[in-house]
Amino acid sequence: AHNDYEHEHPLTDALDNRFYSVEADIWLVDGEVLVAHNKGDWKGSLKDLYLDPLKKRVEDKGSIHGDGNPFYLWVDIKDGGDELRSTLTNLLNQYSMLTRFTDEEIKEGPVTVVLTGDARAKEALVKEYADRPFCRDSNGYSPNDPPVDNKWRWYALRWWSYMDWEGNEDISSEEKATLKKIVDDIHEKGRKVRFYATPETQKYWTVALEVGIDHINTDDLERLNEFLEEKSK
């Protein structure tokens, strides 16, 4: 659920549609981690909108949907100053349901936090803490990237930086092969991938499933849920 906090009922709408991933943009304001796409348009705190409700779900169900599958909270860092980094880490450390990462070990929890957004901040965060409640993504991809480690486990790539297909007509075999090559290489490196700013069409969603994109980004929760339910029949 891209920019989940923009929906009428943040988190709840995504959970009602059986989503396993939500994204929240964060800023530090007066010592508190707040959620908003644009500075000043505050939707609430990360704690109140996401962390506490997710904690309650885990306490009630054992996992977010009660099926044991992992749930991802993407934290998009908009304000990456030093104070935010320490405040965010101290906040997340209060929640035992989060997956813990060291360079040697991953202790899986019901909820995994992936840092995205500000490259300097997310790269600093995973280096600053030997035992940490998050991993990070990269917003750029190269075939020469190194294999996976416990700091960097995901890619979040802007669709139009890699593809021209708009998702309305059938994808050409050449473009599909290009996309699959990127996804396969990322998987061979041991990482997972999501694309953002993607087409919101059934043709795109079908191709995303066929080539193995790990998370489908969407603002249209109900329509994607209906599509996925049809596909699973």
pTM: 0.94
- Report the DSSP pairing between strands 100-101 and 106-107: antiparallel
| Predicted pLDDT of residue 45 | 97
Closest to 126 measured CA to CA, from 155, 92, 102: 102
Mean pLDDT of 165-170: 96
| Predicted pLDDT of residue 219 | 87
Express as a percent the part of the chain with pLDDT over 90.
88
First-to-last C-alpha distance (Å) of the chain: 22
Residue 206 has pLDDT above 70, yes or no: yes
Residue 2 has pLDDT above 70, yes or no: no
Instruction: Give 196-220 as a 3 state SS string.
Output: ECCCCCHHHHHHHHHHCCCEECCCC
Residue 9 has pLDDT above 90, yes or no: no
For 7, 47, 67, 108, the CA distances from 13, given in Å and listed in that order, are 7, 18, 18, 25
| Predicted pLDDT of residue 3 | 62
pLDDT tens digits, one per residue of 210-219: 999 999 999 8
| Cβ–Cβ < 8 Å for 24, 4 | yes
| Predicted pLDDT of residue 6 | 72
pLDDT tens digits, one per residue of 101-159: 999 999 999 999 999 999 999 999 999 999 999 999 999 999 999 999 999 999 999 99
E-assigned strand segments in the chain: 21-29, 32-35, 44-45, 71-77, 100-101, 106-107, 111-117, 135-138, 152-158, 192-196, 215-216
Question: 126-135: buried (b, 16+ CB within 10 Å) or exposed (e) per residue?
Answer: beebeebbbb
pLDDT tens digits, one per residue of 14-36: 999 999 999 999 999 999 999 99
Would you kindly state where each structural domain of the chain is located, as residue ranges? Answer: 1-138, 158-233
Residues β-bridged to residue 33: 28
Length of the chain: 233
